[in-house]
Structures are given as C-alpha cells and as structure tokens.
Amino acid sequence: MLLASGAVWSERAWAQWRIVRIAVVALLAIGFVFGAAVVLPVAPPYSSWWRWADQHNGGNFNEELGWPELARSVAALRDTLAPGQRSGIGILAADSAQAEAIDL
C-alpha cells in the first residue's frame, strides 16, 4: 500500500513539477557519466584515475592493452618459418583473451 501511494505521489509530482523532471534527468546523466568513468577504460593508461578504476573493477584493465602488438609479433614469428612448417604450427596461449587476440 505504501509503495502504491508513493508511486501516485511521484507520478503527480512528475507531471506537475518541472524542477523534479529536470532534477531526475540531471541525476541520471551524472550517474551515467560517473558510472562510465569507473567501468569503461576511458582514462589515460596508468594515470591515477586509471589505477583507481582498475582497482575498483577487479584489476583487469591492464589486460586491455597491447593485443595488436601481440598479434603482430606472433605473426612475425610465424612468417620466419618455412612454408612447409607453417601448416602444422600451433600457438599455446595462457588464457582465452590471448588466444582471441592472436586469432585477429
């Protein structure tokens, strides 16, 4: 019953008070910006903001760097092999992220 009365009050406030609508939209926008700043790797790598967001997200932001370089270095090593040896090559990766980067 309390939830229903609160919903009725908030719906009336939303329809009548322009300031409530502006405040709700502003709070949602601010929450989105701060949430994106913590969850997405948008900070310069290894800056204090990067380290703080990395710490609060399980410490795996550093795993998002260097994949193109890894794929290029593995391709360069593969190219040094004779054409007959390339067909039987196998690449052992430490985890699925490295295997997916090499699969580029």
70 and 25 part of one domain: no
Total domains in the chain come to 2
Note down the domain range covering 86: 66-102
Confidence category of residue 43, pLDDT binned at 50, 70, 90: confident
Instruction: From residue 78, give the alpha-carbon distance in Å to each of 59, 67, 101.
Output: 32, 17, 15
Is the full-model pTM beyond 0.85? no
Amino acid symbol at 82: A
Instruction: From residue 37, give the alpha-carbon distance in Å to each of 23, 29, 47.
Output: 21, 12, 13
Confidence category of residue 98, pLDDT binned at 50, 70, 90: confident
**DSSP assignment string, 10-37:** HHHHHHH-HHHHHHHHHHHHHHHHHHHH
57 and 81 part of one domain: no
Tens of pLDDT, residue by residue over 3-39, are: 777 788 878 877 777 887 888 889 999 999 988 887 7
